[in-house]
């Protein structure tokens, strides 16, 4: 397209090949810092310059055209790379002194560079050939400025600026000192008269005086602040491409300079790192900034297009790595990489390379290639050792790892890296456990030692924390729940909504894709477990009898003892409450329980003795609908009305040792208080008795509340926003992040799948549960109401037991859930306390933790929408320990307790039906129920099969002891003291396991759900 492009590229190619350095700007001085995007309403909303976003910045000051000599006349330059990397970045700026460009199209750029090669007379001819060229030279050239800092640097190019409103705009950029200082070194009238004398030089001034002044300035101040600003022009009717002419200034009155970002430079970059850092104006976020294609050599857009191609060419010709340091300064680092075992963890092209930059207290190395010895060095599950020769960097602070993208296969899951620094005989483990891919090519890894923000050793490491959090907040964004009216009012979730494939890579694993497919098949009717059931008493297929206690339940489900066992130690053990007085709405009389109490005992006596317990379901009352469906079986299964009730159950501790059901009322208030309809074991009239049916109605209520409130809301949905707030607000080096994240690893992906297939009003739950009868959204309404009544403090299980009067083992023996939970809770609490005490030496450290405060605020505001009562701020270590203990217990013990028995208890539908197909009875039947009536009451076989299919997917069949609670799946802590705490935790879990096994030897139906080896480390299904 451009007939001059070849000559310009040829010129740069010759210079680069001759020296191995840049053709221009090769003797610069560099610094490292960060940029924070300002929040100016005049900047149109866009996908890159988001207010508050933080970027690492590499900056270089230099001269042009006399790069080696600061004392010569010339332009001063500031190059910015919006990443801490030699080449890769989302945005590079190369800015010059002077607000307009000395060339504006292909012909003028060639003429300009040709004149520079020929000498002063040729330069004079060029500058004087057009007034705009002369103006650009007078405006841009500097002679003996006092500092690189006291300059205004301009992009001298015009960019297309794309915003969310799709209005056509163009933009220019500049960087100025943030302190408002004026420019220095502008040409005097005498110097302007011979502006073309570019070799003018002050002999007494050192050739590197500007570079040395900059080094001194940045070393003597805590930071140098700059302001990145932009001008914006919005195209109007009649506007032409003249707005792309970078040689014409824009009126600052009509196009004011708007603050875009604050740039802070804090530390110097080593010279060898500066030299291999390559800036390219072609690095732009194309969705926001770009250059239009040029249509001819006279097109103003030829300038940026030529510049980006020339910079790209020069970059390829230069060596990627710096020269090796002198022998006495060099050291060989040993670097071990451990690739994960996930599917596709080592899915890298053979020629895709990995580079590492080691950063320490005394400097840094450039990015160094980990040269492969074998093709499979980075394959799944491989551990590989590399030797790298470079300079010493002092005490290791962190390492930047960059995975080059080549070809279509680019994903790499790095578990951790080990770096040995032989000059101080130290070996550092740097946890990662993240995916490198096209969107995340660079990750900063830190030593596994946990560090609080106010205890960071230097500014740079604080910058790493800030940038990590800023980037995470851009990737892990909360969903606007107004987009999902059905879920509005439930705990918050990520912007991906119900699309698991839209989640960030670190939030899901390949097995989640398989689970997503399984649920899709289930909803399509292709995945139902077909269990032949000729009548309601048939057992499920023998192949499923291997699961815990299922065969026992099938044989004994009618028995009162088994009913009571499931109500106390089943899937919903959080209901039972000690009675201190008889509920006014449950008018149980002595005559109703005649013969059921211990001989000579009365209800009042047993009440006072603490032997009566209540399980009630008031939260279900508003979802009870006893309207009779007249069409019956003519209606499709999914559209048939399904029924439940809101019962009350009184349990009796007979003889102080045997828990048994005493009375059931199927409503919260009796229709006729003088003649209440209360069922007792005395109503055991026949094979299908009133008493048996009443117990089944209780099981319907319990199963609905369990599936929706206890399991789905109480573990899954309540934990998800905690996982999101943790990764959004806590950097990976934060001890609370290290403590919690291994327990939160799959919850977001699983819940995303549930929002797609399980939770919607036409999802898997709605097909079978009575709460979702007749296309209603009872399950969603119930969860929303429960959220509004939630208090996080109530999730403290020992306090919950105490509030229900069942904390003391002597008051309710055989409450195995409680017994095991208290041991597990104590072990978790001790572990959390031991870990956190390593970092929070006193309560003041907790109160000063701003990152922790941001996490709890994000959780309250966006995670729970100000509906769940949370601590305002953690001010004591005890409060923080309680919070973390609750989270870990919910992810481990509580989820196991309310999910691991699903197939046992729900696998045989009559034991705990998901619904009834007729309204609950309002009178007793002296002769009991017939088999025909029972079949009409229970769900049809097709619905039972759908239900068991759903249960099988929810159950998951956990059988991986390698990820049970206490096992170190991800080694995020590396300190010896932390490893000791983990060992203490494991020892306590082993003791708990032994005690449970001993107890279970004497139990007909053992309680195994809280055996530590049966508890996954995270919510896995």
pLDDT of residue 536: 32
- The structural domains of the chain, with segments of one domain joined by +, span 5-317, 327-447, 524-531+700-1014, 542-698
pLDDT of residue 326: 57
pLDDT of residue 541: 38
Exposure string for 136-146, b = 16+ CB within 10 A, e = fewer? bbebbbbbbbe
pLDDT of residue 345: 81
Tokens 């939970």: give the residue: 821
Q: What kind and span of H or E run contains 34?
A: strand 29-37
pLDDT of residue 221: 85
Exposure string for 957-978, b = 16+ CB within 10 A, e = fewer? ebeeeeebbbbeebbbbbbeeb
Q: CA dihedral defined by 862, 866, 872, 873, rounded to 10 degrees?
A: -10
Tokens 């020269």: give the residue: 323
Provide the strand spans (E) within 909-960: none
pLDDT of residue 322: 57
- Name the residue among 129, 124, 92, 77 with its Cα closest to residue 247: 129
pLDDT of residue 335: 96
Spatial contact of 247 and 132, defined as CB atoms under 8 Å apart: yes
Spatial contact of 597 and 684, defined as CB atoms under 8 Å apart: no
On the 0-12 / 13-18 / 19+ scale of CB atoms within 10 A, 927 is exposed
pLDDT of residue 659: 97
**What phi and psi, each to the nearest 5 degrees, are found at residue 412?**
-150, 125
Spatial contact of 172 and 231, defined as CB atoms under 8 Å apart: yes
pLDDT of residue 350: 66
Which CATH architecture group holds 5-317? Beta Barrel (2.40)
Give the span between the Cα atoms of 446 and 464, in whole angstroms: 10
- Name the residue among 22, 2, 195, 25 with its Cα closest to residue 110: 2
pLDDT of residue 603: 95
Q: How far is CA 195 from CA 150, 205, 401, in A?
A: 21, 20, 47
- Name the residue among 881, 794, 874 with its Cα closest to residue 831: 881
Q: pLDDT averaged over consecutive 10-residue blocks of the chain (1021 residues)? A: 50 51 67 94 95 92 92 95 93 96 91 89 91 93 96 97 96 97 94 88 88 94 92 96 96 97 93 91 96 92 90 69 64 94 77 89 91 80 92 94 77 94 94 88 93 90 88 92 95 96 85 87 68 39 54 93 98 97 95 94 95 98 82 64 96 94 97 93 93 98 98 97 98 98 95 96 93 82 93 92 95 97 98 98 96 97 93 93 98 96 92 96 93 95 91 76 84 95 98 98 93 93 82
The CATH classification number of 542-698 equals: 3.10.450.60
The CATH classification number of 327-447 equals: 2.60.60.20
Assigned CATH topology for domain 524-531+700-1014: Lipoxygenase-1; domain 5 (1.20.245)
pLDDT of residue 686: 86
pLDDT of residue 542: 47
Spatial contact of 96 and 287, defined as CB atoms under 8 Å apart: no
pLDDT of residue 532: 40
Spatial contact of 556 and 563, defined as CB atoms under 8 Å apart: no
pLDDT of residue 540: 44
On the 0-12 / 13-18 / 19+ scale of CB atoms within 10 A, 121 is exposed
Strands 383-391 and 363-364: unpaired
**What phi and psi, each to the nearest 5 degrees, are found at residue 743?**
-90, -10
Give the span between the Cα atoms of 534 and 611, in whole angstroms: 41
**What phi and psi, each to the nearest 5 degrees, are found at residue 870?**
-120, 165
> Facing residues of 62 across strands?
77
């Amino acid at each position: 397209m451009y007939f001059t492009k070849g000559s310009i590229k040829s010129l740069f190619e010759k210079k680069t090949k001759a020296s191995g350095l840049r053709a221009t700007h090769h003797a610069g001085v560099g610094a490292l810092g960060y940029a924070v995007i300002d929040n100016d309403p005049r900047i149109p909303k866009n996908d890159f310059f988001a207010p508050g976003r933080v970027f690492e910045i590499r900056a270089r000051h230099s001269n042009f055209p006399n790069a080696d000599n600061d004392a010569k006349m010339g332009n001063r330059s500031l190059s910015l790379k919006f990443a801490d990397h030699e080449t890769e970045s989302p945005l590079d700026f190369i800015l010059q002194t002077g607000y307009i460009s000395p060339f504006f199209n292909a012909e003028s750029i060639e003429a300009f560079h040709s004149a520079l090669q020929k000498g002063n007379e040729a330069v004079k001819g060029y500058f004087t050939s057009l007034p705009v060229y002369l103006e650009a030279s007078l405006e841009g050239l500097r002679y003996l400025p006092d500092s690189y800092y006291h300059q205004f640097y301009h992009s001298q190019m015009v960019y297309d600026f794309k915003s969310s409103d799709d209005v056509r705009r163009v933009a220019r950029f500049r960087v100025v000192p943030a302190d408002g200082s004026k420019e220095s070194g502008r040409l005097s009238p005498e110097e302007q008269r011979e502006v073309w004398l570019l070799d003018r030089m002050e002999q007494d001034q050192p050739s590197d005086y500007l570079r040395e002044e900059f080094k001194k300035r940045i070393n003597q101040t805590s930071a140098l602040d700059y302001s990145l600003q932009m001008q914006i022009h919005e195209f109007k009717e009649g506007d032409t491409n003249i707005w792309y002419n970078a040689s014409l200034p824009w009126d600052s009155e009509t196009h004011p300079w708007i603050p875009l970002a604050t740039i802070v430079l804090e530390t110097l970059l080593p010279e060898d790192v500066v030299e291999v850092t390559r800036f390219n104006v072609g690095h732009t976020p194309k969705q926001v900034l770009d250059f239009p294609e040029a249509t001819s050599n006279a097109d103003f857009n030829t300038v940026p297009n030529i510049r980006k191609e020339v910079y790209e060419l020069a970059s390829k010709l230069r060596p990627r790595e710096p020269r090796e340091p002198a022998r006495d300064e060099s050291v060989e680092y040993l670097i071990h990489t451990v690739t994960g075992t996930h599917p596709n963890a080592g899915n890298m092209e053979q020629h895709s390379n990995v580079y590492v930059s080691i950063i320490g207290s005394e400097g840094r190395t450039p990015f160094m290639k980990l040269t492969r010895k074998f093709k499979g060095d980075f394959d799944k599950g491989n551990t590989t050792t590399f030797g790298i020769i470079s300079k010493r960097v002092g005490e290791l602070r962190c390492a930047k790892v960059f995975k080059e993208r080549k070809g279509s296969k680019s994903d790499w899951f790095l578990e951790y890296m080990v770096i040995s620094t032989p000059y101080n005989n130290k070996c550092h483990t740097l946890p990662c456990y993240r995916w490198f891919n096209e969107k995340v090519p660079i990750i900063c890894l830190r030593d596994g030692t946990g560090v609080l923000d106010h205890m960071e050793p230097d500014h740079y490491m604080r910058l790493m924390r800030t940038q990590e959090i800023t980037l995470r907040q851009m990737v892990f964004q909360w969903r606007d729940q107004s987009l999902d009216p059905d879920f509005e009012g439930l705990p918050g979730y990520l912007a991906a909504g119900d699309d698991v494939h839209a989640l960030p890579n670190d939030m899901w694993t390949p097995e989640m894709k398989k689970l997503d497919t399984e649920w899709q098949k289930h909803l399509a009717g292709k995945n139902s477990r077909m269990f032949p059931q000729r009548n309601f008493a048939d057992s499920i297929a023998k192949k499923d009898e291997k699961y815990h206690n299922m065969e026992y339940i099938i044989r004994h489900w009618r028995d009162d003892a088994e009913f009571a066992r499931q109500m106390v130690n089943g899937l919903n053990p959080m209901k039972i409450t000690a009675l201190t007085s008889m509920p006014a709405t449950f008018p149980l009389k002595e005559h109703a329980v005649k013969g059921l109490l211990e001989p000579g005992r009365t209800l009042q006596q047993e009440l006072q003795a603490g032997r009566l317990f209540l399980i009630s379901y008031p939260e279900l009352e508003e979802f009870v609908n006893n309207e009779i469906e007249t069409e019956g079986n003519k209606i499709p299964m999914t559209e048939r009305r399904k029924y439940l009730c809101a019962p009350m159950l009184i349990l009796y501790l007979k003889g102080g040792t045997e828990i048994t059901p005493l009375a059931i009322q199927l409503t919260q208030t009796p229709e006729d208080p003088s003649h209440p309809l209360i069922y007792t074991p005395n109503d055991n009239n026949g094979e299908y008795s009133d008493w048996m049916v009443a117990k089944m109605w209780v099981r319907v209520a319990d199963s609905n509340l369990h599936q929706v409130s206890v399991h789905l809301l109480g573990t899954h949905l309540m934990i998800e926003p905690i996982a999101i707030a943790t990764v959004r607000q806590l950097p990976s080096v934060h001890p609370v992040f290290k403590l919690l994240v291994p327990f939160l690893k799959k919850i977001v992906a699983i819940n995303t799948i549930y929002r797609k297939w399980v939770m919607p009003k036409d999802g898997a739950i709605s097909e079978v549960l009575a709460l979702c009868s007749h296309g209603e959204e009872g399950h969603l309404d119930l969860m929303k109401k429960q959220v509004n009544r939630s208090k996080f403090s109530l999730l403290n299980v020992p306090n919950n037991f105490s509030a229900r009067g069942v904390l003391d083992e002597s008051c309710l023996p055989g409450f195995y859930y409680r017994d095991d939970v208290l041991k597990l809770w104590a072990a978790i609490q001790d572990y959390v306390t031991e870990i956190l005490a390593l970092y929070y030496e006193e309560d003041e450290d907790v109160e000063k933790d701003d990152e922790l405060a941001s996490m709890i605020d994000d959780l309250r505001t966006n995670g729970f929408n100000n509906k769940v009562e949370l601590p305002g701020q953690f001010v004591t270590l005890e409060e923080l320990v309680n919070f973390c203990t609750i989270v870990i217990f919910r992810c481990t013990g509580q989820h196991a307790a309310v999910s691991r028995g699903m197939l046992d208890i729900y696998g045989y539908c009559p034991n705990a039906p998901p619904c009834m197909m007729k309204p609950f009875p309002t009178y007793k039947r002296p002769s009991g129920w017939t088999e025909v009536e029972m079949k009409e009451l229970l769900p049809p076989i097709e619905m039972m099969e759908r239900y068991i299919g759903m249960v099988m997917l929810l159950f998951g069949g956990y059988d991986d002891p390698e990820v049970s609670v206490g096992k170190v799946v991800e080694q995020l802590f590396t300190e010896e003291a932390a490893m000791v705490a983990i060992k203490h935790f494991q020892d306590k879990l082993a003791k708990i396991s032994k005690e449970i096994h001993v107890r279970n030897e004497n139990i007909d139906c053992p309680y195994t759900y809280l055996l530590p080896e049966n508890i996954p480390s995270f919510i896995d299904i």
